Amino acid sequence: MRLDLWLLFGATLILIAIIAVRLSHRAGLPTLLAYLGIGLFLGESGPVGIDFDNAELAEILGLTALVLILAEGGITTNWRHVRPSVPAALSVSTLGTLISVLVVAVAAHWLLDMDWRLAFLLGAVMGPTDAAAVFSVLRRLPLPSRLTGLLEAESGFNDAPVIIVVVWLSTHTGMPNVASLVGMMVYELAAGAALGLLIGWVGAYALRQIALPASGLYPLAVLSLSIGSYGVTTLLHASGFMAVYVSALVLGNARLPHRPATRGFAEGIAWLAQIGLFVMLGLLASPEELPAQIVPALVAGFILLLVARPLSVLLSTWGFGLTLGEKAFASWAGLRGAVPIVLATIPMVEDVAGADRLFSIVFNIVVVFTLLQGPTLPLAARLCRLKGDEEARELDVEAAPLEELHAELLEVRVPRDSLLNGVEIFELRLPPGASVTLIVRNGSSFVPEPTTPLQAGDTLLVVATTAVREATERRLRAVSRRGKLAGWFGETGA
């Protein structure tokens, strides 16, 4: 086909996928189902009839897309929200995942007549929750911040240990040497986290010291550093996926210029990766082979949902102070998405006996249980009596460096539900060295007076010296959350 036809086909496919996102969002379904459906429609059994059965290429492209999705997850994760939940998330993503793998493997061996190798592969492949599914669904629900932080951090952390297990099982025969496998996992995860921290810190320091000539270069630099950490870490035989998520988490929460633009760029790249990934996996699936594995998929899926996941959450979160309702919701909200399907291609590439059956079972589990769990999450939150604990939305602050003045320009958008609404400029009591220089309101701009009241929807341009930038942001957030008397309420805007 000619280049113009390929570009037309690609652009049309993306636009169809975007429309599918809108429709699935209204229906309360994770978008992965729409993308998988498009892939099946375009595949060998659909009207278009594209024949794609290259498992090795699917594995490479799938892992590449997962790197981009993990990077976006780290960049857009608010460290302040997830920090209290990180210990529990690490426990769930390691100890909890291993418990889940063991339970599913034993059930698959005895109930589905799988040999131990294939049974453990099924348990490992279905172990991780999917970052894209979790981020897209849970961020729309009003949940306690520590629960949201737990689920987000878990979905970012648990890919790394599971990939180690899946690769090991796919390349080794016989029962695994548990001590050797655990030792390798500890090294790879610890080294990956350390290298991710190092690359994130060094990259953030460099980007703060070097003023790039165009704002669009900052998102490229941040994403390149995160992706580059995967390559460096993998070359050192450590966990590249852990390095990607940790470095992106550091860079996404660093005081860098143009942070909102960086987050928006990362989200766009992740959406593109999701579209390509799910459509490709839909193409790879063989619809005529899927019905034969529906019953085994239902058995394994219900074992995972009703036994393995609740048991793993219950045991791995013991002592972290979660309520029974939060544990119940975390058990139900363990969404599976593209990650298990991508991981199921690894045994196919390694020619593991029964790998095609494993892929069909995993594909069925993802589709059926995403349909079951995704739309019922709001109901599950109500039944577990969970409510959000943050009423005011965060301010969206953009920053650009003013090198010669040793100052920065902050662009502050006032949300509709912000308590900045009605506050006069002088009542902001910004620190010395910071000043509101311009207000953009209803498409027109003006220089405010000290007594000018702010309105919801305003965009403020605030010039602040580098020394008081952080204090300025904290004061604006404090007033946004609790009003002009925020200090009296103990609100610091952290």
pLDDT, one tens digit per residue, over 181-229 is: 778 888 888 999 999 999 999 999 888 887 777 778 888 999 999 999 9
The Cα–Cα gap between 106 and 100 comes to 10
Query: For residues 458 and 423, is the Cβ–Cβ distance under 8 A?
Result: no
Are the C-beta atoms of residues 225 and 200 closer than 8 Å to each other? yes
- Per-residue pLDDT tens digits for 451-481: 888 888 888 888 888 888 888 888 888 888 8
Which run of H or of E encompasses 437?
Answer: strand 434-441
Q: Show the tokens assigned to 197.
A: 């921290």
What are the E-state strand segments in 256-361? none
- Domain positions in the chain: 3-383, 396-489
Question: Rounded to whole angstroms, how far apart are CA atoms 121 and 167?
Answer: 9
List the beta bridge partners of residue 435: 463
Which residue from 404, 461, 364, 386 is spatially nearest to 148, judged by alpha carbons?
386
Cα–Cα distance, 73 to 398 (Å, whole number): 20
366/306 Cα distance (integer angstroms) = 15
Q: Is the dihedral of CA 415, 421, 426, 429 positive or negative?
A: negative
Q: Top-level CATH class of 396-489? A: alpha beta
| Burial tier of 427 (Cβ tally within 10 Å: 0-12, 13-18, 19+) | middle
Tens of pLDDT along the chain (494 residues) come to: 578 888 888 888 888 877 876 666 665 556 667 777 777 777 776 676 777 778 888 888 888 988 998 898 888 887 877 888 889 988 998 889 889 999 999 999 999 989 888 999 999 999 888 766 666 666 667 778 788 888 888 887 888 888 888 888 888 776 666 677 778 888 888 999 999 999 999 999 888 887 777 778 888 999 999 999 999 999 988 888 899 999 999 998 887 877 778 888 888 888 888 888 888 888 888 777 888 889 999 999 999 999 999 999 999 999 888 889 989 998 988 878 778 888 899 999 888 888 989 999 999 998 888 888 877 888 888 888 887 654 444 555 555 555 555 677 788 888 887 888 888 888 888 888 888 888 888 888 888 888 888 888 888 888 888 888 888 888 888 888 878 877 676 777 67
**pTM for this structure?**
0.73
In eight-state DSSP terms, residue 424 is: B
What whole-number distance in Å separates Cα of residue 354 and Cα of residue 144?
42
The whole-angstrom separation of Cα 361 and Cα 341 is 10
d(CA 327, CA 123): 21
For domain 3-383, is the CATH number 1.20.1530.20? Answer: yes
Strands in 407-413's sheet, in edge-to-edge order, are 396-402, 407-413, 459-465, 434-441, 444-446
Residue 332's DSSP bridge partners are none
